[in-house]
Structure 1
Amino acid sequence: MLIQRETSAHVAAIRAVTAAAFARPGQPDQIPVEATLVDELRASDAWLPVLSLVAVNSAGVVGHVLGSRAWVDSVPVLAIGPLSVHPDHQGRGVGQALMHAVLGAGDALDEPIVVLLGDPRYYSRFGFRLAEEYGITPPVPEWRPHFQARTLTAFTPDLRGRFKYAEPFDRV
């Protein structure tokens, strides 16, 4: 498996992987909002092409992670999501490889902190903690148990405040 930057040749495969990863039981023909979100983020100013990564093996694209611009008050930070792994390849380390790659790339780009909404049982293995431990509040109070952050090398403790996703997150 190889982790590399997304190219225009990957767009259709990313959409298919994301749709498969987030498919709702009993709704096989409905496109998940996560697939729409990837397309909308890619078309926005918040998309960070250097932090849109794919996992590729002999089967093609089997996973994808997207980094986009977000803010804590007026400070730019990195939002991660969605993280998608095709169901046929889940549990094989694809998501782990993508997360390590995007965290390393974000650190190399001097991002101070990475924020995401997800299962703490999964993301804690990558050093994520509840964002409120860092004084970062979610845009939706009900997200608190799943709203997480991980500091990177450029983090300073004065980075505190209300988190804001890029505008495409508001539309989906």
Structure 2
Amino acid sequence: MLRTERPGDMLPVYELVSAAFGRHDEAELVNRLRECGAAVVTQVEEEDYEFMGHLLLSPVTINGQEGPWLGLAPVAVHPDWQGQGIGSELIREGLDTALEMDWKAVVVLGDPAYYGRFGFRPASEFGLHCCYEVPSEHFMAMELQTGGLAGLQGEVLYHPLFDEPLEE
């Protein structure tokens, strides 16, 4: 069942995200984004209380300007369920939900071949670049609404929690 995350999902989501990445960093980030209200779109795939996948979208800024734009990160699928289309389902549903909530565009940092299937294009085509030093083709954007990135250019920053060190 693909659905929006609920308050009681916190622990199973933490365990799922930790298993998917093989460490706790991304799971801690998800918790911190949720706690500060920055987890504006969260989706889970679960069956009989077994959590198989999770997606989170949080606001980004462009040249320091807040706007109706989101960053897609992280997307996690439990290792036992990878390669079965769960990540794709989560991404499609997350993008649809963001559009319904009137967000204008989404950025993602990842594999161009994978994310290109959903309509993401190099962010450089929109005049945008990533705050992280990554190959430009791996930083992508898509307009959820026509003109959602029109007239914008510059550096995209993810939520500040993406850059804060985790306490050991």
Is the alpha carbon distance of 1:59 and 1:7 closer, same or farther for their aligned partners in structure 2, counting shifts above 3 Å? closer
- C-alpha distance in 2 between matches for 1:156 and 1:116: 14
Is the 2:106–2:143 Cα contact (8 Å) retained in structure 1?
yes
2:44 pairs with one of 36, 51, 54: 54
Alignment of structure 1 residues 2-151 onto 2, 5 Å: 2-23=1-22, 31-48=23-40, 51-58=41-48, 60-73=50-63, 74-76=65-67, 77-151=69-143
User: Secondary structure of 1:52's match?
Assistant: strand
Deviations 1:46-65 (A, max 9, x none): 221xx111011135211000
- C-alpha distance in 2 between matches for 1:165 and 1:56: 27
Structure 2: where are the runs of 5+ without partners? none
Q: How many residues align?
A: 162
Structure 1: where are the runs of 5+ without partners? 24-30
TM-score, scaled to structure 1 = 0.87
Q: Alpha-carbon deviation of 1:38?
A: 0.7
- C-alpha distance in 2 between matches for 1:139 and 1:39: 22
2:158 pairs with one of 159, 162, 165: 165
TM-score, scaled to structure 2 = 0.89
State percent identity of aligned pairs.
33
Is the 1:44–1:168 Cα contact (8 Å) retained in structure 2?
no
